[in-house]
Amino acid sequence: MLLLRRIRSRSGGGSRGGSLDVAEFAGQAGYRQNPSLWRTAPAAGVVCACCTPVVIIPCWRHRGFAAVTPTVATAGRCTARRPPRRVLFMPGGHQGALAERRAAVLSRLVLLFAQGRDLVELADDAVQLVARETGAAAVFVYLWDEDEERLVLRVATPGPQQTGVGEIRLRLGEGITGWAALRRRSVIIDRDLQEDPRFIGFDEIEEEEFRSILAVPIADEQSRLRGVFALYSKDEAAFGEDELAIAVEVGRLLATGLLRAETVADLNRQSAAAHFLLDFPSVARTALVPCLQFAARRLLDLLDIDVCMLEYISRRESGATPIIFAFRSVDGDNRVWSTHSRVAAQSSIDQNCAGLENSSVAIGMGASHGVLSCYRRARFRARDFERMSVLATQLGVLLEAVDLNSVGSSLATRLRLTQDDAEAARILSELNVEGPVCPVVVRVHSVRGDWETVSRSLKDTLASVAGARGIVLLHSTWGMVLVDAPGGRVSADFSVRLLKALQRLSDETGLRASVGMGSVSPTPAQIRQSINHARQALDWTEAYGRGLPVTLASYAEIRDVLPLVEVVSSMAPKIAETARALDPLVRYDVAQGSHLVRTLAVLASCGGSVNEAAVRLVIHRNTLRQRMQRIEQLLGLSLDATTDWPVLGLSTRVAAIRVDKVRAASRR
């Protein structure tokens, strides 16, 4: 095996007289005839005309030879020091083959970039192709982020370096890559990569195994920086003029491809934004929650964001504000979630949006219909904000129309009036209600001042008492509160706190209202029954309330006496007839200041017993009999055993209330 051979010059001189014929050396070494030796053959030393040693290194990648001059001359030869140089010599015919291979690589890249696909996907395919054709151990693409003013590693060949994708960020001038970007100059380092003063190491990349690097800046035709294309090798002196030429061409094509793909992406987004409203399915055009859910999912792609939150505020309905979330998924199956609880919404933001950039715009034009909030890793630019504003304005127009159609089918009204258990359960699902709840029905009779202002105060009051997990639904003068009931029980003091809070609001706003509290619904399937119980309690307090501005009844308290409503209803015609017959007695008491109506009421409650009534009235029996005679004269009837004392007792109570009202009015 040839370890060292001295080649004499063609001129026939000694070792100092002529020039080196590398091709002749290659022929004598047998490399041209036996290409299989190129991969494993040792280096062969020669001496040039100036006595500087020249090392011939087989270059198996390019099927040629590299002639390298060391910096220190061989002892006893020439004392001159020359910088190392590397020249690639190709055996006959292989220089053309290399040109063909380079042209084939570039043609494939041109076809690749002409497709106008996603920016990162485009760069990833380019990286795989270049790594395969150049034999580089690793290929990186850093893209310039104008907002962060950083070079961000976006694409890397498979290996440990993949962990740095999206994480490594370089300033201009930082590291060898940053230096190439700052100077807009290509960089080749043949050896001792880690010793270069510009070198910066990263834990995400196992760079100690790399010996050489080729970094080429990516710039468009206007010389705007787009990124850096970097090739790493585990061999020293792995990159030469040919790899540099390919890398430069790739950089140019990559810049053009990035610009083209970016332009196509912008045009696609603009076209999609123009058709935003046309894309909505029919169900999303007539119902509020489906409309918001479809919009949130669609906005993920139109705005290139990771999380979209839509918080809707109706100008017609003071009910619970629907809050819709859409989350981008890696597999493309984007998830949509809705809630009416601000606490749950804030918890979702804290959990899913930590560390993300945020930008928000109002929904609608003029009066706001809510807020569109967007979250993503990259910063939002001015054009992103403009696109958000345009889409939010379009969405506001659609929501206005949907809201007009959905007023009659608001959640509060639907829950209160539905006769279908399945429909009631679906509404609870829309409200994201899963556990046991207790429905509370509210009916407002009158307010003092502006109703819109009072309704907002009422909503805040109800929400404050209901707690963080409670849901408040208001529609016109009707409202419903779904109170969280963990373990199937509501707080023992809830009704007391609610009544006191509403009484304070009544003192401030003149609110007059009735409240009915239903039973606890263990599951959504039983919510309709619980709402019916709340309505029964509401009817009770309105019928038998004590005339206070705010009255409240609980189903648990009135459940056992509810049949009384049916009893009173059956007696109502006869009571009304008897009450009218008592009119002469009412007029007499008002005119004379007497108490005959009250006397008759006590007598009726005692079942006509004179002795018992006299004791309760604290008068003598004879005095009572005199009053009874006067009553019989005024009414033209006899008070005896045949009298219907229960009906008369209820009728005299009604008459007594009439007397009290007339007297109160006369004193004013």
Q: What angle do CA 549, 554, 556 make, to 5 degrees?
A: 160
Which range, 182-196, 308-322, 526-540, is most confident?
526-540
Average pLDDT for 411-416: 72
Q: Which residue has the higher pLDDT, 313 or 486?
A: 486
What gap in Å lies between CA 364 and CA 348, rounded to an integer? 25
Report for 162-166, 272-276, 493-497: range of highest mean pLDDT: 493-497
DSSP category for residue 158? S
pLDDT tens by residue, 595-622: 999 999 999 999 999 999 999 999 999 9
pLDDT for res 114: 60
**pLDDT per residue as tens digits for the range 373-398:** 999 988 888 778 888 888 888 888 78
Instruction: Give the residue with greater pLDDT, 16 vs 124.
Output: 124
Which pLDDT band holds residue 438 (cuts at 50, 70, 90)?
Answer: very high
pLDDT at 160 over 50: yes
Looking at the DSSP bridge assignments, the partners of residue 308 are 326, 374
Residue recorded with tokens 């007029």: 587
Say what the pLDDT of residue 5 is: 34
Contacts of 531 (CB under 8 A, 6+ apart): 415, 416, 424, 439, 441, 480, 518
- % of the chain at pLDDT higher than 70: 72
Residue 196: CB atoms within 10 A of its CB come to 15
Phi, psi (5° rounding) for residue 280?
Answer: -70, 130
Consecutive H or E run containing 528? helix 527-544
> What distance in Å separates the CA atoms of residue 172 and residue 183, rounded to the nearest whole number?
9
Q: What does residue 620 show for φ and ψ, rounded to 5 degrees?
A: -75, 155
What does the block give as tokens for 382?
């001015």
pLDDT at 213: 86
Q: Do residues 591 and 634 touch, judged by C-beta distance below 8 A?
A: no
Residue 273 CA to residue 441 CA, distance in Å, equals: 43
Percent of the chain with pLDDT over 90: 18
Residue 440 host element (H or E)? strand 437-446
- Residue 42 above 50 pLDDT? no
**Closest C-alpha among 376, 322, 314, 365 to residue 345:** 322
The pLDDT of residue 29 is above 50: no
Reading the block at residue 466, the tokens are 């209901």
Residue 320's pLDDT band (boundaries 50, 70, 90)?
A: low
- The two tokens of residue 623 are 């005095």
DSSP helix, strand, coil percent of the chain (3-state; round to 5): 50, 20, 35
Residue type, 131: A
Whole-prediction pTM: 0.41
Give dist(CA 262, CA 275) in Å, integer: 20
Tell me if residue 194 falls in helix, strand or coil: helix
Order of strands across the sheet with 64-68? 44-47, 53-59, 64-68, 86-89
Phi/psi for 154 (5° steps) reads -105, -30
Using CA atoms, how far apart are residues 260 and 151, in angstroms rounded to an integer? 20
- Confidence bin at 58 (pLDDT 50/70/90): very low
| pLDDT value at 99 more than 80 | no
Adjacency order of strands within the sheet including 437-446: 471-475, 478-484, 437-446, 512-517, 550-554
String of b and e for 399-434 (b: at least 16 CB within 10 Å)? bbebbeebeeebbbbbbbebeeeeebbebbebbebe
Contacts for 341 with CB less than 8 Å, ≥ 6 apart: 323, 432, 468, 469, 471
For residue 33, the model assigns a pLDDT of: 39
The most confident of the ranges 118-132, 195-209, 562-576 is: 562-576
Choose the weakest-confidence range: 30-39, 312-321, 656-665: 30-39
Select the highest-mean-pLDDT range: 90-104, 236-250, 544-558: 544-558
The region, left, alpha or beta by phi > 0 then psi within -120 to 50, assigned to residue 424 is alpha
Instruction: Let me know: does 230 contact 143? Beta carbons within 8 Å.
Output: no
pLDDT at position 100 is 66
Give the length of the chain: 668
Task: Tell me the residue type at 668.
Answer: R
Q: CA triplet 457, 522, 529: central angle to 5 degrees?
A: 75
- pLDDT(588) > 70: yes
Q: What is the mean pLDDT of the chain?
A: 75
β-strands 550-554, 512-517 pairing: parallel
- State pLDDT tens for residues 187-225: 888 887 778 888 887 766 766 778 888 888 888 777 788
| The predicted structure's pLDDT at residue 529 | 92
Question: What is d(CA 247, CA 127) in angstroms, rounded to the nearest whole number?
Answer: 11
Q: Which two tokens stand for residue 177?
A: 């890559």
Q: Is the dihedral of CA 517, 418, 416, 568 positive or negative?
A: negative
What are the φ and ψ backbone dihedral angles of 554, each rounded to 5 degrees? Answer: -105, 140
Q: Is a pLDDT exceeding 90 seen at residue 499?
A: yes
With cut-offs at 50, 70 and 90, classify the pLDDT of residue 113: low
Phi, psi of 17 (to 5 degrees): -90, -25
